[in-house]
Amino acid sequence: MVASTSALRDGAVRPSRERPNSRDGRSSRTSIARFLPVVPSILLLALFMAGPVIWSVTISFTNTALTGRNAKDPSWVGFENYTRLLQDPGFPVSVWLTVVFVVASAVIGQNVLGLVIALLLGRVGRVTHAIVTTIVVGAWVLPEIVAAFAAYAYFADDGTLNQLLAGIGIDGANWLYEFPMLAVILANVWRGTAFSMMVYEAALNDVPPEITEAAVIDGAGGLKRLIWVTIPMIRGSIATNLMLITLQTLAVFTLIWVMTKGGPGISSTTLPILAYQEAFKFQEIGYGSAIAVVMILIGAVFSVLYLRTLRPGRDA
């Protein structure tokens, strides 16, 4: 009896010691099996993103040049390129123009206009929806160089805008010379709003209609429903959209280069234009890479700000 009791005790104890290990083993194998499909993506990201970023950061601490002795045998200069940036009077101007360009054209222009169009599309018929979507998306699907030439033709001194203004008796300005930042901001809004519109249209379709109907029953008007119901429920989509369009706008080069070439003077020289000029016009790859690193840091600051303030579940 004692032996059988001991056996039963042993039998009762042994499984309890083995099952957790067995579950842990299965859990580990399941985790590995789930991780395997994303391994190629991680390797590709490391190869095509992390690699160039690490290379850019590294050569920003060197005097690497495009031609000459420093191209063949660059040397380590530490923070000299960054010290030059701080002493360059054109650098703070470029940082300010970049922030203005991002905030005005992406954060306010594309983001707000995309949300407004998405909200309005939910109230129109199918034909109007198709027409508006085609017009807005048409600018987005154009190759960047084609969109840049179209924007140049629109804002040029003898371009479409001034022709339209002349038709109603108004003498238009030389937009690309007198208001270069306004011209490139409007051009970027025109080109990029479609992305925000599609993101918000998909997010709005996921808002449960019963919640909106409950708000209507409670007497909430359209603006109150938007502020207290709709926006909190699509907060994650807002953060994702803001982060993506901010990073896209930080990297805009072709549009500005074709329209103004950074001028007149440096009045539309954003950081991508400045980095290109220093790296390839003046052939200082190390100095240009230091500017690129600053752009990465600005993008990181915007991304962290969006994720911390707009992440789902965070109280407003």
- CA neighbor of 271 nearest in space, from 251, 254, 297: 251
| Distance (Å) of CA 130 to CA 120, 133, 136 | 13, 5, 10
- CA neighbor of 118 nearest in space, from 187, 188, 195: 195
Whole-number Å distance between alpha carbons of 115 and 197: 6
- Please count the other Cβ atoms lying within 10 Å of the Cβ belonging to residue 308: 10
Full-prediction pTM beyond 0.75? Answer: yes
At residue 254's C-alpha, the angle toward residues 248 and 255, to 5°, is: 80
Whole-number Å distance between alpha carbons of 262 and 259: 8
pLDDT for 23: 63
213 burial via Cβ count (<10 Å: 0-12, 13-18, 19+): exposed
The helix, strand and coil proportions of the chain, stated in percent and rounded to the nearest 5, come to: 80, 0, 20
* Cβ atoms of residues 59 and 74 within 8 Å: yes
**pLDDT one digit per residue (tens) for the chain, 316 residues:** 444 444 444 444 454 555 556 666 667 777 777 778 888 888 888 788 888 888 889 999 999 998 888 888 889 999 999 999 999 999 999 999 999 999 999 999 999 999 999 999 988 888 998 999 898 888 888 898 999 999 999 999 889 999 999 999 888 899 999 999 999 999 999 999 999 999 999 999 888 888 888 888 887 788 888 888 888 889 889 988 998 999 899 989 999 999 999 989 999 999 999 999 999 988 899 999 999 999 989 988 888 888 887 766 555 4
62 φ, ψ (degrees, to nearest 5): -125, 175
Q: Which two tokens stand for residue 202?
A: 């998909």
